Each structure stands twice: as structure tokens, then as C-alpha cells.
């Protein structure tokens, strides 16, 4: 296995004894030692995306030069703290990864519905609000994870699959109206000659939603649906007329559309 990157310390602000790092210690290590590491360096991996851990790195040109990926965990992080203006200002050429999370908890069954749909909103906000380039789940095979202990995909896993199965490495997120209706969350991606749109409807009623593609209008759209009774179920293929198509997003559902 080729090592892609190495983290200075997992959750340095949620640790004990030798695993605890202050922001100043993290910056010092990056300044004095990280330059000799022969693979990509990830830091600081705060347990809750606390900016007091990463701001000093972004504000120190020498430390920043020796880090490749700003990593963060989202345990209990409110959506309001997802955007990171300082990274957008000073993080040119660096990557921003969400390197560990489970959501919304580790106590409930991953098959509870519509609670599992919270995963869809969480990933949406991580992609759109936080603008992460990676979203990495904690234990995959757990009663609260995307895969149940029996190896079957859970409802939380199905919600994740609406992104992971269709938005592949190398795809780029493109502009989309993120909240076109109350409780509806939309993001769009481009890659492999396709446009992928993921729509999460957390509302208790169905929504008729029109999608219009600028510049790269395709001729067909295939769709997949997860709701209370279906998991990433194919809904067939329809036509695209003048760059637009209209669909009904069922209540409490996630849908993915692949336009070619």
C-alpha cells in the first residue's frame, strides 16, 4: 500500500498525556520537522473543527508550507461553524478534508428513518457549506454505521451512497442552488462526462423541483431513490428538454440524478 498522507496527531485537542498538542506545539512541529516527511502531511485534525487549532497554521507561512491537507473532524460541530473564511483566504494550493465522523450519533440503529436522512444533509453541508474535498466516516461496519454488523447496507449507508456511489474521485463540485425549497438540499458535481445532482428532501411533503443545467446540458437523466421503503433504487431514465427536467422529490427522501 502506498502511503498517501500522514497526520501529525489524531484529535490533538481531545487527547491525554503525550497525545495532547497545543496549537503552538503543532505549529512548531510543522515548522521544524514536517518538511522532512516524505509524504503528504495532514494537520491538525481537531475533534470538533475548532479553528483555534488550525488558524495558527494558516497564519504561519512556514508551517503552512509544510502541510498539505488541513484535516478536521466534525463531532458536535454546528453547521454554522462549517464555513472557513480564513482557509479560503490563505489555503491556496492546500486541501481541506473531513477525516473522521459519525452522524448523528453512535447510539441509535442506522436503519431508523427518517433519522438516517440526517446523514444526507450532513454530507451536503460538508460539501457545500464547509467545501471539504473528502468526507470520511468512522467505523464502517457498526450498528450505527453505513454497513450493519451483518454486512448489509443500512439506511445511513444508503443516504451516503447517494453521494459516494455517483460522485467519484476526481469529480468537481459545481454551482447549484443549495436550498431551492424549504427542507430541500441540492448539490451538483461534474466528472466522467456526466453531471451528478444529489437532492435531499427532509420535509414531510413531496416537492416538485425543476433542475436547469447551464452550458453542459445533457440529453438523458437517470435517477435513484432512497425513502422509507427503498434503498438507492433505480427510477429509470428520462429525457432532458432544453437543459431542464422536473421531478417529484418524495417526502423524506434522497435522490441522485446522473445527466449525460
Active-site option among 45, 100, 131, 149: 100
Distance (Å, rounded) from C-alpha 137 to C-alpha 23?
25
| Residue found under cell 521544524 | 32
Distance (Å, rounded) from C-alpha 37 to C-alpha 113?
45
Among this protein's residues, is 131 annotated catalytic? Answer: no
List C-alpha distances in Å: 134 to 78, 85, 169, 221: 18, 18, 9, 26
Closest CA to 247 of 195, 217, 198, 207: 207
Active-site option among 11, 32, 95, 121: 11
Among this protein's residues, is 121 annotated catalytic? Answer: no
Closest CA to 196 of 219, 170, 222: 222
Query: Helix or strand or coil: residue 211?
Result: strand
List C-alpha distances in Å: 111 to 107, 146, 226, 249: 12, 9, 12, 21
DSSP state of 140: S
Active site members? 11, 100
Amino acid at each position: 500500500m502506498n502511503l498517501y498522507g500522514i497526520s501529525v496527531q489524531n484529535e490533538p485537542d481531545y487527547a491525554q498525556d503525550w497525545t495532547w498538542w497545543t496549537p503552538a506545539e503543532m505549529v512548531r512541529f510543522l515548522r521544524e520537522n514536517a518538511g522532512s516527511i516524505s509524504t503528504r502531511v495532514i494537520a491538525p485534525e481537531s475533534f470538533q473543527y475548532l479553528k483555534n487549532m488550525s488558524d495558527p497554521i494558516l497564519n504561519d507561512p512556514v508551517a503552512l508550507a509544510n502541510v498539505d491537507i488541513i484535516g478536521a473532524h466534525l463531532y458536535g460541530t454546528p453547521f454554522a461553524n462549517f464555513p472557513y473564511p480564513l482557509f479560503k483566504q490563505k489555503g491556496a494550493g492546500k486541501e481541506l478534508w473531513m477525516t473522521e465522523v459519525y452522524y448523528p450519533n453512535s447510539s441509535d440503529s442506522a436503519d431508523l428513518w427518517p433519522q438516517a436522512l440526517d446523514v444526507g444533509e450532513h454530507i451536503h453541508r460538508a460539501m457545500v457549506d464547509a467545501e471539504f474535498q473528502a468526507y470520511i466516516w468512522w467505523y464502517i461496519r457498526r450498528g450505527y454505521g453505513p454497513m450493519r454488523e451483518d454486512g448489509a447496507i443500512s439506511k445511513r449507508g444508503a443516504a451516503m451512497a447517494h453521494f459516494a456511489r455517483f460522485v467519484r474521485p476526481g469529480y468537481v463540485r459545481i454551482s447549484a442552488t443549495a436550498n431551492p425549497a424549504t427542507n430541500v438540499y441540492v448539490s451538483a458535481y461534474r466528472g466522467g462526462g456526466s453531471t451528478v445532482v444529489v437532492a435531499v428532501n427532509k420535509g414531510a411533503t413531496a416537492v416538485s423541483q425543476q433542475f436547469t443545467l447551464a452550458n453542459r446540458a445533457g440529453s438523458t437523466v437517470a435517477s435513484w431513490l432512497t425513502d422509507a421503503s427503498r434503498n438507492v433504487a433505480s427510477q429509470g431514465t428520462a429525457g432532458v428538454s432544453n437543459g431542464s427536467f422536473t421531478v417529484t422529490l418524495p417526502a423524506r427522501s434522497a435522490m441522485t440524478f446522473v445527466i449525460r
